Amino acid sequence: MFDAILEQIINGTMMGSIYVLVGLGLVLIYGVMHVLNFAHGMMFMLGGYMAYTAFAHVTGDYGSAVLLSMLSLMAIGAVLERLVFKPLRGNLRNQVIASLALVLLIQNSVIAIWGPTGIQFKLSATEILVPIGGLRFSLQHILVIVVTFACMGVLFVFLKFTKFGTALRATSQNNEAATVVGINTQRMYWVSFAIGSALAALGGALIGPLFLVFPQMGDLPLVKALAGILLGGMGSIPGAVIGGLLIGITEALATLAIATDYRDAVTFVVIILILLFRPQGLFGVRVRGEA
Amino acid sequence: MKTRRTFLGLLAGATATALAVSSPSAAETLTIGIVSATTGPLAAPGKFQLNGFKLAAEEVNAKGGVAVGGKTYKVELKIYDTHCNAAAGASAMQRLASVDKVPVVLGELCSSVAAAEAPIAKDFKLPLILTVPTGPSLTRGGNPYLFRVNSHAALLNKGLAAFIAKNGWSPISYIAWNNDAGRGGVRTLGAQLPKNIKNAYTGYFNVGEVDFSSHISNIRAKKAKAVVLLMDEEPGSLAIKQIRSAGLNIQLIGTLAMGSNRFLKRLDKKTIAGMVQYSAFPPKADVLRIKNFSARYEKKYGEEAHGFAAQSYDGLMIALAAMKNGGTVTDKSRIREELAKIDYTGVMGKIRFDKNGQASPPVYITEWCADGTRKILAPKDAVAGCGKG
C-alpha cells in the first residue's frame, strides 16, 4: 500500500504541476484584467502542438522546441488581447463570450491543420525510466515537476523584485491608481496575456510527450486549474500554486480508496468543504461587501 | 419541301430519343443519410466509419451507379455530424427524415446517440442501419426499422471470454471508457467469464482523459494477472505505454481497435508482443474478400483498412442491395422488409439479420507476434500464423 500511496503522490504532484502552470496564467490575466479567459485551455493545447511541430520539423531539440512554443504563444496571447479583448474592455460579459468563441475557433482550426487524431510526441525523456523506491517513473514525469517548480520561482522573483513585475502587481491591485503613478496599464494587459499564454504553452509542451497532443488536451487542465484557483483564492498566485497541487494530489490519492470515475467528485467535494469554511479560498483576501 | 420538313422532323425526333436513351441515368441521384462524429473527441474513429461509406459509394458510382427498378442512380451521401451527442443525433435524424427525405440512414458511432435516433427512425418508418455502436440493448428494443451490421459487445466478447478462461488469467482487471461502449464491454465480458475468473479491479475514464496512472496503481496493488483495455486505439496505446513505463508486467487484452498497424506505429513490437484482442476484421487475413477490401482501402486512403470502415462499407452495400431487391428507392417500408430478409456476403462475411435486426458477422481473436505482425487464434476455422491476422 505504501508503494501505491507514494506512486500516487508523485503522479498527483505531476498532474498538479500542470494545473499550476495553467492556473498561474489564468490568475495573472484575471488579476490584471478581471476577466476569466475560457480560451486559456486552448493556449495550453496550442503549446503542445507548437512544441511538437518545432521539435519534429524545425529544431529537433526538445529544449528549444519548448522555448519556441512559449515564444509563439506569447505572441498569439498578445495578439488575442489586442484584437479580441481590448475592443471589448469594459464589457465583462462580452469578453467571456468572446473567450468561449475563441475555444471553438482555435480547436476547430487545430483540427483543420493537424487533423482530429492525437499526435504522439515521441521523446527519449519518456523512454528513460527513473527508479524511486520499488517504482519507476519516466524522466519526463520528473521534468514536469522540476520545470514547474523552477518556473514558479522565476515568476515569484519577476513579480516581487523587478520593476515590471511590480507594475504588473500594481495594475492588478488598483488599475486607476497604477495609471496615476505613470504605469502604462494598456501595456500591462497584453503583457499579462502574453506571460499567461506562455505559461500555458509550457504546460502543454511538457505534458505532450508524456501523453498525447490532441485538440481537446486543454479542456480538463482548464477545469482543474479553475478549481485550483478557486480553492487557493481568486487572484492569489500562491493560492493558484497550492490549489493546483492540492487538486492534483487529492484526485490521485482518492482513486486508491474509491472508484476512479468518482475521482472528480471527491475533488470537488473537498473544494466545497474548504470553501464552506473559507469562502475566499485558502489564500484569498476577503473584500468588504463580498460573502 | 414537305419531304424535307418531314425528314428534318424525323431527324430531330431521333436525336432527342437517342439523347434520352444514352443519358437518362446521369441525372438520377439516390441520396443516403449518414450520421457520424466528424468533429469532437471521437472524430478519429468517425473518420474510419465515413471512409467505409465513401469507398462504397465511390465504387458503386465508378461502375455507373446502382440499378433499381429499371433506373440507374448515382449514390450521394448526405452526412451529418452528430459529434457523439444524443441531441445532435436526434436532430440530424429528424432532418434526414423530414427535410432531406432520404430512404435509409446509416452510421452512428455511439450507442447512446443511436438510442436517441432509433425512435425517430421508427416514427418516420425510416430504416436506420447501424455500423459501429456495440451497446447490446439497442437491437433488443423491438424496433422493426433498426438494423445493426456489426456485432454487439456480448457477441464480440464471447470468444474473448472463452479465451481468458482457457488461459486462466485470474484475477482480471479492466480499464474502460466511461460510456456505453466501455461499461457495456465490462458488463458483457464479465457476465460471460466463468466464476473462477475473479475481478480484481475495474476503472473507468472519460473520453479525452489521458492519464492512466491511478488505474495502474490500483491494478498493481490488486495483483491482477491481465488487464482488458476497452477503448479506442488512441487511449489504448497511451494506456499501454504508461503500463509498461510503470514497470507493470501484465497480460494485455484489447479491442478490435488495437489489432492494426496504425496501433503498432503508436507503440513498438516489443511493447505489444503477446497482446491479444478481439477483431471483427483482421486486415491481413488470408481470406479473399478481406484481402481485396484491404487492398482497395489501402490504395484509396494510404493506410491499413479499419474494421469500422469494413462494417460501414458492408452497411451501405446492404442498403443498396435491399433497394435493388425491393425495386424502390422511395418506399421505406418495402426497403425495411427487404433488409429484414437480406442474405448478403460482404467484406465482413455472411450478413443476415435476426428478428431483432441484429447481424452476427464472424469475430476473431488475434495476437501480436514478436515480429510486429498478427496471428489469428480463434475461431478454429480461421486460425492463421504470424503475418496473417
**Domains identified in chain A and CATH numbers:** 2-277 (1.10.3470)
Judge whether residue B322 has pLDDT over 70.
Answer: yes
B28-151+288-351 classified as CATH 1.10.3720.10: no
Judge whether residue B10 has pLDDT over 80.
Answer: no
pLDDT of residue B5: 56
Say if CB A199 and CB A42 are below 8 A apart.
no
For a pLDDT cut of 70, what percent of chain B falls above it?
Answer: 93
Judge whether residue B15 has pLDDT over 70.
Answer: no
pLDDT of residue B23: 46
pLDDT of residue A281: 82
Rounded mean pLDDT, B124-135:
96
Ranges of CATH 3.40.50.2300 domains, chain B:
28-151+288-351, 154-279+364-382
Q: Do A263 and B245 touch (CB under 8 A)?
A: no
pLDDT band of residue B25 (cuts 50, 70, 90) is: very low
Per the model's pLDDT, the better-predicted residue between A11 and B25 turns out to be A11
Query: How far is B312 from chain A, CA to nearest CA, in Å?
Result: 20
pLDDT of residue B83: 87
Q: Do B245 and A137 touch (CB under 8 A)?
A: yes
C-alpha dist (Å) from residue A182 to A31, A165, A171, A267, B369: 19, 15, 11, 43, 71
Per the model's pLDDT, the better-predicted residue between A126 and B301 turns out to be B301
Q: Which residues of chain A have pLDDT under 70?
A: 285-291
Average pLDDT of chain B to the nearest whole number: 91
Instruction: Please give the model's pTM, rounded to 2 decimal places.
Output: 0.77
pLDDT of residue A285: 67
Question: What DSSP string runs through A175-193?
Answer: HHHHHHTT--HHHHHHHHH
Grid coordinates given for A141: 514525469
pLDDT band of residue B257 (cuts 50, 70, 90) is: confident
Query: How far is B28 from chain A, CA to nearest CA, in Å?
Result: 33
Phi, psi of B207 (to 5 degrees): -60, 130
Residue B347: how many other CB atoms lie within 10 Å:
26
Rounded mean pLDDT, B83-111:
95
pLDDT band of residue B232 (cuts 50, 70, 90) is: confident
CATH number of B154-279+364-382: 3.40.50.2300
Rounded mean pLDDT, B334-356:
96
Beta bridge partners of B175: B203, B229
For residues A74 and A71, what is the distance between their CA atoms, to the nearest angstrom?
Answer: 5
Which residue in B44, B215, B221 is closest to A260 by CB distance? Answer: B215
Peptide bond into B379 cis (omega under 30): yes
pLDDT band of residue B19 (cuts 50, 70, 90) is: very low
Rounded mean pLDDT, B134-149:
93
pLDDT per residue as tens digits for the range B204-225: 998 878 899 999 999 999 999 9
Site from B179, B217, B230 to mutate, A interface, most A CB atoms within 10 angstroms: B217
Judge whether residue B27 has pLDDT over 60.
Answer: no
**Chain A residue closest in CA terms to B220:** A4
Which residue numbers of A have CB closer than 8 Å to B's CBs?
Answer: 1, 3-4, 7-8, 11, 15, 108, 111, 116-118, 120, 126, 129, 135-138, 211-212, 214, 216-217, 219-220, 251-252, 255-256, 259-261, 263
To 10 degrees, what angle do helices A2-33 and A139-161 make? 30
Judge whether residue B197 has pLDDT over 90.
Answer: yes
